[in-house]
Amino acid sequence: MSILIDNFDLFANGLLGTIRLCLLAAVGSLLLGGLIAAFRVSPLPPLRALGTGYVTVFRNMPLTVVMFLSAFGLPPLGVNEASFLNVPGLNFLIPQLGNNAFFRFALIAIVLYTSAFVCEALRAGINAVPTGQAEAARSLGLTFTQNLRNVVLPQAWKFAVVPIGSVIIAMIKNSAIAGSFGVAGDLMYTSDVLVSQEGLPLLPVFLGLSGGYLLLTIPLGLFLDAVERRRAATIR
């Protein structure tokens, strides 16, 4: 226990690192997942095929492989530093975004991987919206995008928010892999350093590590439970 207290600042820093990575990854995954879900329900067959192909590839590939392909496969393809993610302003809040190419590659990998699951959760939500809703919107003259944005997605969101939350919880835990791919400063990395560089015993450090992840995932889980209860109350 004293190990955790003595190294509290290190753990706190690690937690902050994980939060930063996960915050960006969650936002990215929701955006990309939403886009892919739109592809999958689109009236245009090529877009549908693209969406289906995307989900098939990234949902069935181990995250480690996606990480590897992102960190070492993208540069030979010309994405040398993935510096398009080095967004001014954002890199001030999240310094790794600016100074660590592998942070950016790991972010890309997590987003690519997670958005496939977000897409499917969202699509399940879209399918749960009665078809009459979309038909009514179409017969008013709403275009596909207007229909999705104003009628279908706001309702699909209610069905999808809890499954998507579970996807995000899984994503937070998955982010531990990033420590093995050049992302310095997250929880997993901090624990690694404490054990093998500082020589602290494995068990207490990993207890602290697990505690850090629980600190992120349990409140999220409670929040989702609350959302679900509120939804159950309003839908009747």
Partner 1 sequence: MRFKRMTAIAAVAVVAFGTASCAKKDEPAAPTSKFAAGTTMDRIAKAGKFNVGTKWDQPLFGLKGLAKAPEGFDVEIVKIIAAELGIKDDKVHYEETVSKVREDFISSGRVDMIVATYTINDARKEKISFAGPYYEAGQDILVAKDDTTITGPEIFKTDATKKVCSVTGSTPAKKIAEYATAPGQVVLFDVYTKCLDALKNKQVAAVTTDNVILMGYVSKEPDKFKVLGKPFTKEPYGIGVKKDDKVFRDWINDIIEKAFADGRYKAAWDKTVGAIAPMPKEIKVNRY
Partner 2 sequence: MPEPLIELNAVNKWFGSLHVLRDVNLTVDRGEVVVVIGPSGSGKSTLCRAINRLETINSGTIIFDGKPLPEEGKQLARLRSEVGMVFQSFNLFSHLTILENVTLGPIKVRRESKAVAKERAMKLLDRVGIGNQADKHPGQLSGGQQQRAAIARALAMQPKAMLFDEPTSALDPEMVGEVLDVMTSLAVEGMTMIVVTHEMGFARHAAKRVVFMADGELVEQAPPAEFFDNPRSERARDFLSKVLQH
Give least dist CB 11 to partner 1, A: 15
Give least dist CB 78 to partner 1, A: 11
Contact characters 134-153, partner 2, x per CB under 8 A: -xxxxxxxxx--x---xx--
CB 212, CB 58: distance < 8 Å: no
Find which of partner 1, partner 2, none residue 43 binds, CB within 5 to 8 Å per kind: partner 2
Q: How far is CA 220 from CA 14, 21, 112, 207, 225, in A?
A: 19, 16, 22, 20, 9
Find which of partner 1, partner 2, none residue 146 binds, CB within 5 to 8 Å per kind: partner 2
Residue 42 as a binder of partner 2 (CB under 8 A): the answer is no
Q: Which amino acid is at 167?
A: V
For 189, list phi and psi in degrees, rounded to 5.
-60, -45
Structure tokens at 113: 């991987």
**Secondary structure element (H or E) that encloses residue 44, with its range:** none
The binding site for partner 1 (CB under 8 A) comprises 71-72, 75-76, 80, 95-96, 99-103, 179-182, 184, 189, 192-199, 201-202
Establish how many alpha carbons lie within 13 A of residue 55's alpha carbon, considering only the half-sphere containing its beta carbon.
22
Q: Which residues bind partner 2 (CB under 8 A)?
A: 43, 130, 132-133, 135-143, 146, 150-151, 154-155, 158, 236
